[in-house]
Amino acid sequence: MTETVNAEPAARTAPTPKPWIEAIHAYVPGKSKGKDGQPLIKLSANENPLGTSPAALAARAQAPALYPDPDSTALRAAIAHKHGLDAARVVMGTGSDEILHIIAQGYAGPGDEVIYVRYGFAVYDIAARRCGATPVVAPDLDYGTDIDALLALVTEKTRVVFVANPNNPTGSYLPKGEITRLHAALPADVVLVIDQAYGEYVAAEDEDGAFALAAAHDNVLVTRTFSKIFGLAGERIGWATGAPGLIDTLNRIRGPFNVSATGQAMALAALSDEAFIEAARIHNRDERARFVERLTALGNHGLRPLPSQANFVLVLFEGKLTAEAALEGLADAGYIVRWLPGQGLPQALRITIGKTHDMEAIADALTRMVEQQG
């Protein structure tokens, strides 16, 4: 019997997205304009205050406008050479953003779980939901990544674990021992993603050993980007390295021409401009230390800059001056920084390390604000 009583066929009036797509909150990028639309100095997107390598800018003019090399062959070879990797184990993406999405898509789907930490990178949530998987959020340890809390959430449904190291937006960093311990305790069929978007800012002696893990094991991917220290965010270039099986999966589903010809040419030039990279790293290290020192001096007013290994500092406002009021005060002083109430951080501002005079002006403005609060 195929007849059903009272069952009207559903009215087909409009396309309906999948329920897991409807549950996604679209990514909110850092702003570059104030309330009245006046341009502000943008310290809200972790961009390089020194701009882009002049060598990369020169390479842009030479790039062809026809289809790019679909395999980014020269760029992958240069990346592999620089980091002592096998080029066959490197895959490029349209930003590391594409890489993060296709990792989730390649290994997780409806009924599966994807784990990351609270106060983690906003894209992990979107990547997990986009493929229908269930995001599972581990509690933090005073804003840092808690390996034991992550491991406590692993079940037979777990497919992917995302860890940014350094983490965005907290700036917190896990040493090699913790990354090793996390990997050792994960089942072999769980993909561990170590997102090193800020890896170039980390002091060499603090290296977290992620590349070595990715070279030695079948379930580790390390992701990197040209958006941060290289100053090429506008070109959308990221990459990952890992075992051949993982790279093969990502190659099947990435966009076929996912890195533009200008992007490939600029990244290749930027990679070998060691002087620019080193200048950016030193500038960041020194300015960050000075900035943290100035804010730490405001500790009795409730300001608490979290220790950072990245090119930004998350500042907690635990006294009379609220993060929201500080955001407005900084906009009045000409700066836009990142307030993240949507990520559960209404009490904090993430401030990108900018030029020297800008960091001084921000510290001055914050000092004036707390003094006005009495």
Ligand X SMILES: *Cc1c(COP(=O)(O)O)cnc(C)c1O
Positions that interact with ligand X (CB under 6 A): 46, 95-97, 121, 164, 168, 195, 197, 225, 227-228, 233, 238
367 to 318, 354, 361: CA distances (angstroms) = 15, 18, 10
* Complex with ligand X: residue 46 or 172, whichever CB lies closer: 46
Give how far the C-alpha of residue 77 lies from the chain's centroid of Cα atoms, to the nearest Å.
24
Judged by CB, which is closer to ligand X: 283, or 350?
350
CA–CA gap between residue 122 and residue 24 (Å, rounded): 11
Residue number of the CB atom closest to ligand X: 95
Adjacent-strand bridge partners of 221: 193, 242
Whole-angstrom Cα distance, residue 211 to residue 222? 7
Exposure b/e, 91-100, CB count within 10 A at least 16 = b? bbbbbbbbbb
Distance CA 178, CA 352 (A): 26
A 10 A CB-CB count for 293 gives 11
- Shortest Å, Cβ 33 to ligand X: 20
The runs of H, that is alpha helices, within 217-315 are: 244-253, 261-272, 274-296
Least distance CB 307 / ligand X (angstroms): 17
Residue (of 365, 367, 333, 362) closest to 350 by Cα position: 362
> How are beta strands 237-242 and 90-94 bridged, if at all?
antiparallel
Smallest separation (angstroms) from ligand X to the CB of 325: 26
Q: How far is the CB of 365 from ligand X (least distance, A)?
A: 25
Task: Give the nearest distance from C-beta 260 to ligand X in angstroms.
Answer: 14
Q: How far is the CB of 5 from ligand X (least distance, A)?
A: 53
Q: Which is nearer to ligand X, 165 or 298 (CB)?
A: 165
**Measured from the CB atom, is 164 or 280 closer to ligand X?**
164
Residues 6+ apart with CB under 8 A from 372: none
Distance CA 72, CA 261 (A): 9
**Closest separation between CB of residue 99 and ligand X, Å?**
8
Nearest approach, Cβ of residue 310 and ligand X (Å): 8
Is residue 136 within 8 A of residue 112, CB to CB? The reply is: no
Measured from the CB of residue 26, what is the shortest distance to ligand X in angstroms?
A: 15
Nearer to ligand X, 257 or 319 (CB): 257
Residue closer to ligand X, measured from CB, 89 or 101: 101
Alpha-carbon distance of 104 to 117, in angstroms, equals: 16
Least CB distance from residue 75 to ligand X, whole Å? 14
CA-CA distance, 241 to 85, in Å (whole number)?
8
Are 168 and 338 in contact by the 8 Å Cβ rule? The answer is no
Residue closest to 313 by CA, chosen among 295, 300, 298? 295
Nearer to ligand X, 186 or 194 (CB): 194
For residues 229 and 321, which CB has a smaller minimum distance to ligand X in the complex?
229
Choice between 108 and 164, CB closer to ligand X? 164
Q: Looking at beta carbons only, is 227 or 241 nearer to ligand X?
A: 227
Q: Which helix (H) or strand (E) covers residue 86, if one does?
A: none
Structure tokens at 10: 């559903």
